[in-house]
């Protein structure tokens, strides 16, 4: 397993993405990479683009179907409808059998259990019924990720500012009601005042603003997909979303309606970023945030309404 280090980044990002940067203390260690037929660091750097803020660029030629890197999320949470059937941490489908060796409570494995134990125990003790009901009634998924991060911070498993490096949404909806529900659920746990200092309404708004722009809806595909045809078929057959997750490095990929990179989840929340075609050294790597089969106006509406930007990719500029 290899790690992204400041060696592969442009000077302005060396400091920002340095492992010594407290913002990345938790998350940088969760970014790993493995490549097919290539040994070495991930062939990418984060740099400034001409019109879309930061972006990810190829540091060498990348071949079609190459696994560029993998990534572990900073935060993950199952959909409320899947909460009892997928792993609390990695969102893998739980096997309901008598085999207690592989399923520890709401985990798929002892490994996931150990990794999330501290904040799982804390989250389990609180009464989330009002908060979940509120999210369910309004169809909200992002507050669940904020709730999970709050529990991680209290349990010492993440720093309160661990996703502050990500771009925030400009507009966020009213949060007073959900914030006060979260606070009262957590206050029922008898946490010391000192440990709750971070949990202000401003913190809630700041985290939610980043989650809104950067969370991925996790759709699993089963099996192993090594070629492009199988990959495309896998995407079409993907099960409905099992949850949502926030990553650091994948969040620096900009959108393109004709992308050169694809993000997939085979059987867990661990993401794989694969090249959809040959990519030249220096070329920007882009993924598609939406359904690329929509027409020009529908794509623009969704990107403007959901992500707050007017897409400037070559396909949109040619009005396709
Ligand atoms: C997930 S972030 C991608 C990384 C971001 N550029 C940054 O600096 O952190 C999504 C944001 O990037 C910008 N962006 C992504 N794709 C774009 C595109 N095709 N055209 C214009 N802006 C884009 C928008 O501001 C969007 O809200």
Which DSSP string do the residues of the chain spell out, in sequence order? Answer: -EE--GGGS-HHHHHHT-TTSGGGTTTGGGEEE--SS--SS-SEEEEE-SSSSEEEEESS-B-TT-EEEEE--SEEEE-GGGTTTB-TTT-PBPP-SS-TTT-BTTBSSHHHHHHHHHHHHHHHHS--HHHHHHHHHHT--HHHHHHHHHHHHHTTSS-TTTTTTSPPPS-----HHHHHHHHHHHHTT---TGGGTT--HHHHHHHHHHHHHH-EEE-B--S---SHHHHHHHHHHPPSP-EEEE-SGGGGPEE-SS-SEEEEBSSSS-EEEEESS-B-TTPEEEE-SS-TTS-HHHHHHHIIIII-----SHHHHTT-
CA distance 240 to 218: 8
CA distance 103 to 94: 7
* pLDDT number for residue 312: 85
Distance 310 CA to ligand 1 centre (A): 10
Identify any residues that bridge with 261 across adjacent strands, giving them in sequence order.
275
Average pLDDT across the chain, whole number: 84
- The residue whose CA has the least distance to atom 9 of ligand 1 is 167
Q: How large a percentage of the chain has pLDDT more than 70? A: 79
Average confidence (pLDDT) over 7-29: 37
Instruction: Report the predicted TM-score, pTM, of the whole model to 2 decimal places.
Output: 0.85
- How would residue 39 be classed by pLDDT, with cut points 50, 70 and 90? low
Average confidence (pLDDT) over 211-228: 77
What's the complex ipTM? 0.99
259 pLDDT higher than 90: yes
Tell whether ligand 1 has an atom less than 6 A from the beta carbon of residue 309. Answer: yes
- Report which ligand 1 atom has the smallest distance to the Cα of 251: 1
- How would residue 222 be classed by pLDDT, with cut points 50, 70 and 90? low
pLDDT: which is higher, 49 or 221: 49
Tell whether ligand 1 has an atom less than 6 A from the beta carbon of residue 56. Answer: no
Distance 50 CA to ligand 1 centre (A): 11
Tell whether ligand 1 has an atom less than 6 A from the beta carbon of residue 307. Answer: yes
Distance 140 CA to ligand 1 centre (A): 22
- How would residue 249 be classed by pLDDT, with cut points 50, 70 and 90? very high
224 pLDDT higher than 60: no
pLDDT: which is higher, 233 or 194: 194
220 pLDDT higher than 90: no
* pLDDT number for residue 226: 52
- Report which ligand 1 atom has the smallest distance to the Cα of 166: 9
Residue pair 271/262 in contact by the 8 Å Cβ criterion: no
* pLDDT number for residue 240: 60
* pLDDT number for residue 11: 40
| Closest to 220 (Cα-Cα) out of 235, 210, 230 | 235
Give the pair of three-digit tokens for residue 146. 């904020």
Tell whether ligand 1 has an atom less than 6 A from the beta carbon of residue 266. Answer: no
CB neighbour list of residue 169: distance below 8 Å, 6 or more residues apart: 209, 210, 212, 213, 307, 308
Task: Give the residue range(s) of CATH 2.170.270.10 domains in the chain.
Answer: 2-72+220-292
Average confidence (pLDDT) over 90-99: 80
Q: What are 117-155's pLDDT values in tens digits?
A: 999 999 999 999 999 999 999 999 999 999 999 999 999
115 pLDDT higher than 60: yes
CATH classification code of 2-72+220-292: 2.170.270.10
* pLDDT number for residue 100: 54
Tell whether ligand 1 has an atom less than 6 A from the beta carbon of residue 282. Answer: no
What does residue 2 show for φ and ψ, rounded to 5 degrees?
A: -115, 160
Average confidence (pLDDT) over 259-268: 95
Say which range, 88-102, 258-272, 285-299, has the weakest mean pLDDT: 88-102
Of 29-38, 58-67, 93-102, which has the strongest mean pLDDT?
Answer: 58-67
What does residue 298 show for φ and ψ, rounded to 5 degrees?
A: -65, -40
Q: How far is CA 320 from the centre of its chain?
A: 29
| Closest to 299 (Cα-Cα) out of 276, 273, 285, 317 | 317
- Distances in Å between the Cα of 224 and the Cα atoms of 8, 112, 142, 159, 213 are 29, 21, 29, 34, 29
Of 30-34, 168-172, 209-213, which has the strongest mean pLDDT?
Answer: 209-213
């Amino acid at each position: 397993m290899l790690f992204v280090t400041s060696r592969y980044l442009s000077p302005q990002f060396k400091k920002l993405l340095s492992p010594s940067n407290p913002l990345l203390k938790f998350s940088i260690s969760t970014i790993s990479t493995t490549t097919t037929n290539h040994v070495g660091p991930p062939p990418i750097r984060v740099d400034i683009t001409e019109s879309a803020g930061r972006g990810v660029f190829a540091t060498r030629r990348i071949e079609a179907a190459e696994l560029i890197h993998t990534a572990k999320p900073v935060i993950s949470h199952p959909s409320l409808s899947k909460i009892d059937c997928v792993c609390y941490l990695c969102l893998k489908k739980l096997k309901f059998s008598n085999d207690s060796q592989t399923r520890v409570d709401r985990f798929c494995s002892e490994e996931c259990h150990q990794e999330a134990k501290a904040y799982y125990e804390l989250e389990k003790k609180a009464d989330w019924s009002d908060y979940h009901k509120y999210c369910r009634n309004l169809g909200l998924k992002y507050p669940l990720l904020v709730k999970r991060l709050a529990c991680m911070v209290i349990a010492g498993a993440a720093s309160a500012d661990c996703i502050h490096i990500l771009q925030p949404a400009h507009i966020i909806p009213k949060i007073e009601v959900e914030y006060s529900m979260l606070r009262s659920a957590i206050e029922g746990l008898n946490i010391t005042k000192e440990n709750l200092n971070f949990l202000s309404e401003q913190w809630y708004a700041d985290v939610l603003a980043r989650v809104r722009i950067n969370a991925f809806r996790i759709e699993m595909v089963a099996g192993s997909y090594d070629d492009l045809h199988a990959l495309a078929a896998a995407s079409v057959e993907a099960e409905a979303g099992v949850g949502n997750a926030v990553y650091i490095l994948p969040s620096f990929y900009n959108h393109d309606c004709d992308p050169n990179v694809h993000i997939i989840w085979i059987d867990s929340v661990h993401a794989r970023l694969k090249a959809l075609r040959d990519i030249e050294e220096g070329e920007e790597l882009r993924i598609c945030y939406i359904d690329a089969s929509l027409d020009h106006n529908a794509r623009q509406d969704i990107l403007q309404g959901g992500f707050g930007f007017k897409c400037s990719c070559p396909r949109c500029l040619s009005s396709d």
